[in-house]
Amino acid sequence: MAQTGDKNGTDDLRHLLDQMSLEEKITMLAGKNVWETPEIDRLGIPSLKVSDGPNGARGGSFFDGTTAACFPASVSLAATFNPDLSRQVGKALGQEAITKGAYVLLGPTVCCHRSPLGGRNFEAFSEDPHLSGVLASEYVKGLQEERVAATVKHFLANEQDTRRFSINQTISERALREIYLRPFEMVVKEADPWCFMSSYPKINGKHVDAQPKFLDTILRKEWNYEGLAFSDWGAASTVESVKYGLDLEMPGPPRFRTPEAVNKALKSEAISESDIDARVLSTLELLKKVGKFDDRKTTPEEEAIDRPEHRALIRKAGGEGIVLLKNEGNILPIDVKKTKKIALLGPLAKYAAAHGGGSASLNCHYKVTPYDAFTRRLGEQVEITHSKGAHIFRVYPDLETGCINARGNPGFLAEYFMTPTTTNVPFLVEEFPRSSFTTLMNTRVTGCQTVRFGTNYRPSVSGSHYLSFSGLGPSKLFINDELAVEQTEPCSDAMGFLLGVQKEVRVRFKFEAGKEYRVVIETHPSPVSNAEIYLLDNQCSIHLGFIAQEEMEQDVLAEAVSLAQEADLAIVFVGNTTQWETEGQDLESMTLPADGSQDHLIARVAAANPNTIVVNTTGVPVELPWLDAVPALVQAWYAGQETGNAILDVLLGETCPSGKLPISWPKKYEHTGCYGNFGLDSFESRKVEYVEGVFVGYRWFDKFWGQEQEVRFPFGFGLSYTSFEIKDAVVEGSISSDPIAKVKITAKVRNTGTIAGAETVQAYLAPPVVDGFARPTKALVGFAKVELQPSEEREVQIEFGRSDAAYWDEGSDKWRVTEGAYEVLIATSSHPEDIKVRLATAVKGGFVFAA
């Protein structure tokens, strides 16, 4: 294929650009709708479709579209420390995007984890910029091998979701360069991504697109990036961003780049037509790269394509990312021959934690819960019992079972009206499978003023059942034509509402089994979103939650404890659901939800059965007040649609655990460097300062070994069912000003255990200490993962160069490498006790180099 970097390809596109009128060029500066760029039929310029997201190609529908394969979240992928696997996942995601007719995928998310309370941490790789950059680069390469553009996001500093649309973040230049820009720089230089997405927050007073520094000076001029840059949805903030390097405003139709606004900016000389030409040319180049000028068609989304090879890859990647954090007495793997009864307990035992909430969520082909996996594979060998043990509802689950709409189909019917009342004929009718809907990103309902949303509900059991109700705008709930709940004002947190974390009105209603109840909701759009983002203005959304009285009032804790007492083995599945860990809202604390119920459950079960294993499924570290009471702890992350099978593979030893923590795991949130300067702390002020500077994650905790603030589990840590020896490590070469020169580390790794397994050798560089200048004790500069049979020995190699040894000198605005003695630390985690070999290298003369 001819790439746009070829002279003929570029000339052809410039010729096409020359044929465009100014009006047509302005049209190309913004999307035409939520997911597509505009076409220019006169010149044969096609439209291009994009799709969320980083762990699955969702397609055009935000909630209930055609099913798709759900891959492990990026934090789970990072825990594999396996670049080859990341590339395979990227390639598979490219294949998935094509099935949705999309040739741009909105991923990967490359922002570093700054705080354990980051609501969207799971969607990004790691706290460490090097690990993030390496794995993201391979992901991008795999994706673009399928001629699907990767979109590296969110550029820049989208580490928190609280007030993310308006927050002003004060970040030092050194922290920007060494931590937050670094993974993006690595991806640009190593993988040539075809798209970049700009972020919402202000950085040092201005939005990214409202200043030339990031998109133009750093991304394009310093890093020589030649791809397309477009806004996060609704993140464009100025017409001047045309000059500052933002090629495309998304979504469409435009808010800032209307023909009137662009022509006004041209007239005032705030922008020039050459600026517009540069932006449009980027879009044309992307169309060529992904093959749209080769008649690559937009595939309809009606058919779900569930590939067996993708199922296998998801299961492998999910299992390889699982981290064994504790295994006292080698209680794992489970010895099925000696185990007669297993109690599967906890609110996540029958919940498939495939993904987090927000843009990473999708309608999976299927999801395997832990309970599904156990019963299908062990049900004939072992007696399996179950109790959820705790309720962790943030909002009640959707009403679904027993609902038949007016067309006689399961679910609800939404009728849309252009009037403030429902007396006229609706202009559109849609079916929904459950008791929630939204008009957001539904281009067919523009201008809607009222929605009637209803079903006929026939309960299977009688009782005073529990209902929860909320609307984005003013809403009423009727049951058999009687008003049950009225919400007179718009929702106070529109984004929270959309993502299922809103506060709701809760009521009780007496239902009789077998009797039919007409449930109808009327709702109106909220004129102002209360989410600080215009996309939610004038949208309608509804949620009706339902829990049966018997389920709500059952003593599930006592039940779980009783089952634990009777079992040979108790496995407690705890963690977060999409209601608790999601884009749009940061976590309130490091404690498991809700109100200590899961911690209390584990403590009670561990007291009842000493053979208690805890499987935690979150994208972030959590407090572990019960850790000393349980012999085993497994961190499962969000492992995709095969999560239950991946977990069981590890618990049974069919997969030897090899995952390593891509984050530091604090004992308490108060011990972190950003404590008091993150998330909800900034809600009212809309300001946050990155007070910890470059001391993020293990760089911070390296200060506190042997003290109360010492990390619970260090970055890079993870146990195995076998053991390894690292020996004969040597270092060759030295750090120099030559940008091509590399320091080469070689070491031999031997499997000294009795089963096959994999070890990750980590190389950290410790710089010389310079009086009066604070640098992290060490930083990861490379890693190598090796799979070994029992007694097998293999050599691994790791290389690093001057960029890995440098720090940002704010005085000269350049990278600086200090003269002196450096230590190369060969380790299996960032903890000092896990350093296996210390090697020496030196820089004889310090030097600087440009960004």
321, containing H or E segment: helix 308-321
Alpha-carbon distance of 475 to 486, in angstroms, equals 6
Task: Indicate left, alpha or beta for 783 from its phi (over 0: left) and psi (-120 to 50: alpha).
Answer: beta
| 277 carries an active-site annotation | no
Q: How many CA atoms lie within 13 A of 146 on its CB side?
A: 25
First-to-last alpha carbon distance for the chain, in angstroms, is 32
Q: If we measure between CA atoms, which residue out of 298, 296, 297, 300 comes closest to residue 1?
A: 296
The residues, ordered by sequence, that sit 6+ positions from 73 with a Cβ below 8 Å of its Cβ are: 54, 55, 122, 123, 355, 356, 360, 619, 637, 638, 639, 640
Pairing outcome for strands 168-170 and 687-689 = parallel
One-character DSSP codes across 718-768 = -B-SS-EEEEEEEEES---S-TT--EEEEEEEEE-SSS-EEEEEEEEEEPP
Q: Across the beta sheet with 814-817, what order do the strands follow?
A: 807-809, 814-817, 847-849
* Type of residue numbered 128: D
SS3 793: strand
CA distances from 40 to 21, 26, 174, 279, 770 (A): 10, 11, 44, 16, 60
Neighbours of 681 (CB within 10 A): 18
The residues, ordered by sequence, that sit 6+ positions from 627 with a Cβ below 8 Å of its Cβ are: 326, 633, 712
Burial class (CB in 10 A: 0-12, 13-18, 19+), 686: middle
Q: If we measure between CA atoms, which residue out of 370, 393, 388 comes closest to residue 557?
A: 388
Pairing outcome for strands 632-635 and 323-327 = antiparallel
SS3 686: coil
Out of 52, 209, 232, 804, which one is annotated catalytic?
232
For the record, the structure tokens of 185 come out as: 């720089």
Structure-derived torsion over alpha carbons of residues 355, 359, 363, 366, reported in degrees to the nearest 10? -20
Q: What is the DSSP letter of 314?
A: H
Pairing outcome for strands 206-207 and 202-203 = antiparallel
Alpha-carbon distance of 455 to 451, in angstroms, equals 13
Alpha-carbon distance of 182 to 179, in angstroms, equals 6
Is residue 28 a contact partner of residue 295, using CB atoms and an 8 Å limit?
A: no
Burial class (CB in 10 A: 0-12, 13-18, 19+), 258: middle
Q: If we measure between CA atoms, which residue out of 329, 335, 339, 313 comes closest to residue 719?
A: 329
Neighbours of 20 (CB within 10 A): 20
Burial class (CB in 10 A: 0-12, 13-18, 19+), 743: buried
- φ/ψ (deg, to 5) at 176: -60, -50
517-536: string of b/e by CB count within 10 Å (b at 16+)? bebbbbbbbbeebbbbbebb
Alpha-carbon distance of 771 to 78, in angstroms, equals 35
Would you please indicate which residues are annotated as catalytic (active-site) residues?
Answer: 232
